[in-house]
Amino acid sequence: MAEQLKAVKGMNDILPPDSARWEWLEEKVRALMQRYGYQNLRTPIVEPTPLFVRGLGEVTDIVEKEMYSFEDSMNGDRLTLRPENTAGVVRAVVEHSLLYDGGKRIYYMGPMFRHERPQRGRYRQFHQIGAEALGFAGPDVDAELILMCRALWQDLGLADVRLELNSLGQPDERRAHREALINYFEQHRDQLDAEAQRRLHSNPLRILDTKNPAMQALVEAAPKLMDYLGEASLAHLDAVRAVLDANGVPYRINPRLVRGMDYYNLTVFEWVTDRLGSQGTVCGGGRYDYLIEQIGGKPAPAVGWALGMERVLELLKELGTARAPKAPDVYAVVPGPQALAAAMKTVEALREQGVAVLMHAAGKDGWGSMKSQFKKADASGARVALVFGDDELARGEVAVKPLRDAGAAQSTRTLADVAAWAAELRAA
Ligand code: ATP
Ligand code: MG
């Protein structure tokens, strides 16, 4: 036998029946986006490397150590598997002038790639769902995006996620804070790890986002950006809070919350849970009013969020809200190949009427006895078996055998008028 090949480390196959949970989540999200007026945008998985270097910031975890970057062997272009999708959405919006007639509300779903140490809730290929509102400046849209998340948790039956909120202010406010931060960390240089030492002058704000437990106390006592915010920034935050309060959305102001990319300003937020260990951030987002300009577009404000699908599904499992996969309505039992033509004609007619039919098919050991077919019918979860026996077919009929109700009697239906009885087989 040939050597068996395995998936790349940290990249997972999503198998049935688990994939049904993914589809269910995607359906809930599509319905949500429809309700809030967000439209789907799909960007390529591969983008020019400079998009992320410029967009996310050079001194960030993603750009420094997590990107899958390579050279196109045909022409030497520097390319990267997208580590996130906000930069790609902004590139597409600018490239196609989507903001020419006003703001746009956009959503996406799909795989992202980061070269991290694989562990529960942290993979090298993972999946995000994200929403972006581009071209809108007001705090109302920040609040709308947060309310959407709350609505999604409700739709999913997801409890145990709480909202943390902060403001990163504006670049000039950040400059004053940055000075204070560098001063503070310089006084505690001995407590900084190597990464923090390196970032001390290039990007001290990033130190606040450290995952090093040994530095948490130091970070906790660092100067707070909140204390450097001017009136306009505070008013923006207050307006977001007012909408959240009016809608009964609880939150905690977390002055340490800075997010992992450089593109954020003003509102930032995260939805977190204690149930997923150190991978507790389920969703994160914020305002990024300068990114569009940075990627070469006409200056325009924007705000958005992204959630990790693996983490959301993991949390649902943890909470015991796992969903049973959808079973077929009908399993078609066929004694032998002589019945196939008639059986498959009927099965097609049923499917046309919206009935989900799983058709028996031969395995490598042949067609299978009636007994083994009924076993498969049972295991499929179907409510009834349609039995295309030779005698029934000779009379132009098929037998209907209930599988879930031991007392129910078998009956027959006429093949000629499938439409008349299809509805009774269809799931309610
Ligand atoms: P973390 O702090 O856990 O590394 P992050 O700040 O890097 O997360 P974002 O870039 O904000 O994450 O991405 C938004 C969401 O995508 C995260 O809240 C998380 O749910 C999910 N996510 C990010 N990286 C991964 C990964 N490697 N594997 C699985 N999910 C991820
Ligand atoms: Mg990360």
Burial label, 192 (beta-carbon count in 10 A; 0-12, 13-18, 19+) = buried
Relative to the CA of 116, which ligand 1 atom is closest? 27
Nearest CA to ligand 1 atom 16: 308
10 Rama sector, left if φ>0, alpha if ψ -120 to 50, beta otherwise: left
Q: Are strands 39-40 and 251-253 parallel, antiparallel or unpaired?
A: unpaired
Q: Grade residue 2 by pLDDT with cuts at 50, 70 and 90.
A: very high
Task: Tell me which of 65-74, 250-259, 316-325 is least confident.
Answer: 316-325
Of 174-178, 214-218, 226-230, 259-263, which range is least confident? Answer: 259-263
For residue 187, what are its two tokens?
Answer: 């006084």
The pLDDT of residue 325 is 75
Contacts of 249 (CB under 8 A, 6+ apart): 146, 147, 150, 163
Do the first three CATH levels of 18-169+229-318 and 330-427 match, i.e. the same topology? no
pLDDT, average across residues 169-198: 95
What residue ranges line ligand 1, CB within 6 angstroms? 84, 114, 116, 121-123, 126, 128, 260, 279, 281-284, 306-308, 310-311
What does the pLDDT read at residue 40? 98
Question: At residue 396, does pLDDT exceed 80?
Answer: yes
In CATH, 330-427 is 3.50.40.10: no
Peptide linkage before 17 cis (omega within 30 of 0)? yes
Q: Cα(184)–Cα(208) distance, rounded to whole angstroms?
A: 12
Ligand 1 pocket test, pick from 12, 311, 313, 315 with the greatest ligand atom count within 8 Å of Cβ, gives 311
Instruction: Kindly report the length of the chain.
Output: 428
- Give residue 1's pLDDT: 86
Per-residue pLDDT band for 87 (boundaries 50, 70, 90) equals very high
Q: Where does the pLDDT of residue 129 fall: very low under 50, low under 70, confident under 90, or very high at 90 and above?
A: very high
* Three-state DSSP state, 277: coil
Compute the distance from residue 330 Cα to the ligand 1 centre, in Å. 41
At 22 the pLDDT is 95
State the Cα–Cα distance between residues 127 and 114, nearest whole angstrom.
11
State the distance from the centre of ligand 1 to the C-alpha of 131, rounded, in angstroms.
15
Assess contact for 225 and 183: CB atoms under 8 A.
no
CB 141 within 8 A of CB 17: no
Best residue for ligand 1 mutational test, from 126, 263, 264, 273 (most atoms within 8 Å of Cβ) = 126
Is residue 278 pLDDT above 90, yes or no?
A: no
The single residue listed with the structure tokens 């209907």 is: 400
Quote the longest CA-to-CA distance of the chain.
93
Mean pLDDT of the chain: 95
Q: In angstroms, what is the span from residue 117 Cα to ligand 2's centroid? A: 10
Which ligand is in closest contact with the Cα of 261?
Answer: 1
Query: What is the DSSP track for 356-388?
Result: -EEEP--BTTBS--HHHHHHHHHHHT-SEEEE-
Q: How far is the CA of 62 from the centre of ligand 2 (A)?
A: 7
- Are 200 and 193 within 8 A, CB to CB? no
Query: Using CA positions, which residue lies closest to atom 6 of ligand 1?
Result: 260
User: pLDDT tens-digit profile of 194-213?
Assistant: 999 999 999 999 999 898 99
For a pLDDT cut of 70, what percent of the chain falls above it?
Answer: 99
| Separation CA 369–CA 377 (nearest Å) | 12
Q: Is the pLDDT of residue 154 over 80?
A: yes
pLDDT at 322: 64
pLDDT confidence tier of residue 427, bands split at 50, 70 and 90? confident
Nearest ligand to the CA of 271 is: 1
CA of 181 to the centre of ligand 2 (A): 22
**What percentage of the chain has pLDDT greater than the value 90?**
93
β-strands 251-253, 162-167 pairing: parallel
Homologous superfamily of the 18-169+229-318 domain (CATH):
Bira Bifunctional Protein; Domain 2 (3.30.930.10)
* Of residues 181, 233, 183, 234, the one with CA closest to residue 210: 181
**What would the two tokens of residue 394 be?**
């000779």
* Cα gap 328→376, rounded to integer Å: 12
Which residues have CB under 8 Å from 232's CB, separation 6+?
A: 170
Q: Domain ranges for the chain, please list them.
A: 18-169+229-318, 330-427
Q: What is the pLDDT of residues 133-145, one digit of tens each?
A: 999 999 999 999 9
Which ligand lies nearest the alpha carbon of 56? 1
Q: Is the CB of residue 168 less than 8 Å from the CB of residue 278?
A: no
Give the rounded distance of the alpha carbon of 217 from its chain centre: 32
Residue 303: the pLDDT is 98
Helices marked H in 188-328 — which ranges?
194-202, 204-207, 216-220, 231-246, 291-294, 309-318
CA of 218 to the centre of ligand 1 (A): 24
Q: How far is the CA of 26 from the centre of ligand 2 (A)?
A: 23
- The atom of ligand 1 lying closest to the CA of 121 is 29
HSE at residue 135, side-chain half, CA atoms within 13 A, is: 15
